[in-house]
Amino acid sequence: MKIGVFALQGDVSEHVRMLNNAVKELEKNINVVELRGFENFNCDALIIPGGESTTMRKLMHDENGNDINKFLNFLGKISDEEIPILGTCAGLILLAKNVDNKFYDGLLDMEVKRNGYGRQRESFEADVCLKFNLNKTEKFHAIFIRAPVIEKVHKGEILAEFEGKAIAVKDKNVIGLTFHPELTNDTKIYKYFLNLI
């Protein structure tokens, strides 16, 4: 099995490191690869890292009219092989259907405000409760860096909240987080994600 990390820009190596740690802990046979182009995409799961969503959108436009939303929709909707997709921070922004009141062809039906907590100076860390597994909540130390705020979730489950707002959302095979699990040493979320494959 193969899991791809979208590697145009952002926290790519951090996700690769955490995925490899989680793979080891679960004793799974999964290769982690960095994806720079999407020709011959044949992964069993995809991570879209944090970084800068506007830059990623620009980098993903090509002369054939392909863009990131078309690509993600393609992945998310091939019904027989709906692969798990995890977007963190800028990655979550790329997955959203509504960003700063602009509409995109995203996979998560929610309204997101970029830099909703303020600029870099307002970045922060907080202990939050994850409801990733049924009947069990788990603590997680979440790191928010120029994080988006999820104003409304129209479809899907809320897996974690902070100050009354969703910070982790899941709709079927697609998960979005406003924080950065790749900057911790806690593999919980990766192990949960790998178990969805």
Q: Which residues are catalytic?
A: 89, 180, 182
Count, residues in the chain: 197
Task: Kindly tell me which of 30 and 143 has the beta carbon lying closer to ligand GLN.
Answer: 143
**How many CA atoms are closer than 13 Å to the CA of 71, on its beta-carbon side?**
24
User: Nearest approach, Cβ of 101 to ligand GLN (angstroms)?
Assistant: 14
CB-based contact 57:94 (threshold 8 Å): yes
Which residues, including other chains, have CB under 8 Å from residue 147's CB and lie 6 or more apart? 89, 115, 116, 117, 123, 178, 179
The token pair that represents 112 in the structure block: 């997101």
Cα separation, 28 vs 191, in Å, equals 10
Task: Kindly tell me which of 35 and 145 has the beta carbon lying closer to ligand GLN.
Answer: 145
* Binding residue for ligand GLN, selected from 50, 76, 156, 176, defined by CB under 6 A: 50
CB-based contact 165:179 (threshold 8 Å): no
* Binding residue for ligand GLN, selected from 93, 95, 107, 143, defined by CB under 6 A: 93
The residue to which tokens 């707002």 are assigned:
165
173 in contact with ligand GLN (CB under 6 A): no
The one segment of 25-33, 73-81, 86-94, 135-143 that binds ligand GLN by CB under 6 A: 86-94
- The binding track of 146-165 with respect to ligand GLN, each residue x by CB under 6 A or -, is x-------------------
90 in contact with ligand GLN (CB under 6 A): yes
89 in contact with ligand GLN (CB under 6 A): yes
User: Nearest approach, Cβ of 50 to ligand GLN (angstroms)?
Assistant: 3
User: Nearest approach, Cβ of 180 to ligand GLN (angstroms)?
Assistant: 7
Task: Give the SS3 label for residue 7.
Answer: coil
* Binding residue for ligand GLN, selected from 4, 51, 76, 84, defined by CB under 6 A: 51
The one segment of 70-78, 85-93, 132-140, 185-193 that binds ligand GLN by CB under 6 A: 85-93
Question: Which amino acid is located at 135 in the chain?
Answer: N
Instruction: Give how far Cα 145 sits from Cα of 51, 88, 130, 171, Å.
Output: 9, 11, 19, 24
Residues that bind ligand GLN (CB under 6 A): 50-53, 89-90, 93, 114-115, 145-146
